[in-house]
Chain A
Amino acid sequence: MAIEVKIPTILRTYTAGEKAVSAEGKTLSALIDDLEANHSGIKERLIDNGDLRRFVNVYINDEDVRFIGGLDAELKDGDQVVILPAVAGGC
């Protein structure tokens, strides 16, 4: 079971510069653990206190995971995952 995960520029330090990596998992949570096993340190950038960080967006097949179960969102072979940091700020 292989799922392609697109990695944003800011996190490519964890993937030796790769723009996309392959990972496995039946849920987003499991997928992130698998990413962490191969790219140590990346999990902390995605998860805080057991939940997805507020300013990190993750999409499964173009759907924001916040609307499809968050970390419990289900994955299957061939799905495409995109990680994008929010573009946000405030005075």
Chain B
Amino acid sequence: MLTIDQATYDAIVAHAKRDHPDEACGIVAGPEGSDRPERFIEMINAAGSPTFYEFDSTDLLQLYKEMDANDEEPVIVYHSHTATEAYPSRTDIGLAMEPNAHYVLVSTREHGSAQGPVEFRSYRIVDGNVTEEEINIVTTLS
């Protein structure tokens, strides 16, 4: 199960809506082994595409050095799908390289950048196996 606070949830949704119709992507970091998504980090989609996302390689190094220095790890890796459902694609599954992370997918296909609900789902992706999990949204992480 993914436990996430409302503000972080809202920040991910806002990012996905803002970047629609391109895919938005980012990370929520937390202390290593804690499973607490504490630090929201919006990333630029270097692919700038409605069908693909990739962190810029320089940004990626910077991000991991920062997390390393803070003893953090990526607790959530999120991205949006802008025309398809919030389910990991074959490409998403093949490229999922963080076995400890919750992979969050947001779909903006219904309302795009406009007001309105999005699909927000979370998965574990390990060795090509996808397992959907429940999401528990809390006011603040206890």
Residues of A participating in the B interface, judged by any CB pair closer than 8 Å = 6, 8-10, 55, 57, 59, 62, 64, 66, 82, 84-91
Chain B residues within 8 Å of chain A by Cβ, number: 35
* Binary interface encoding of chain B residues 43-59 relative to chain A, with 1 for a CB under 8 A from any of its CBs, else 0: 10001010111110110
A84 vs B67: C-alpha distance in the bound complex, in angstroms? 13
Binds A, one of B78-86, B114-122, B130-138: B78-86
Q: Assuming A9-B98, A84-B64, is B57 touching A90 (CB within 8 A)?
A: no
Q: A59: nearest residue on chain B (CB-CB)?
A: B61
Decide if B23 is an interface residue (CB 8 Å cutoff).
Answer: yes
Give the tally of cross-chain contacts (CB within 8 A). 78
**Min CB distance, B6 to chain A, in Å?**
25
A90 vs B99: C-alpha distance in the bound complex, in angstroms? 18
| Given A10-B99, A82-B64, A89-B52; 20 other pairs, CB 8 A cutoff | A9-B100, A55-B95, A55-B97, A57-B60, A66-B57, A82-B61, A84-B61, A86-B54, A86-B95, A87-B27, A87-B54, A87-B77, A88-B47, A88-B95, A89-B89, A89-B92, A90-B51, A90-B89, A91-B23, A91-B92
Q: Assuming A87-B97, A91-B51, is B89 touching A64 (CB within 8 A)?
A: no
Selected A-B contacts with CB under 8 Å, 23 pairs: A8-B97, A9-B73, A9-B98, A9-B99, A9-B100, A10-B98, A57-B57, A57-B60, A57-B61, A86-B55, A86-B60, A87-B27, A87-B60, A87-B74, A87-B77, A88-B47, A88-B53, A89-B53, A89-B79, A90-B49, A90-B92, A91-B82, A91-B84
Specify which of B53, B73, B74, B82 lies most central, judged by the most chain A CB atoms within 10 Å of its CB: B53
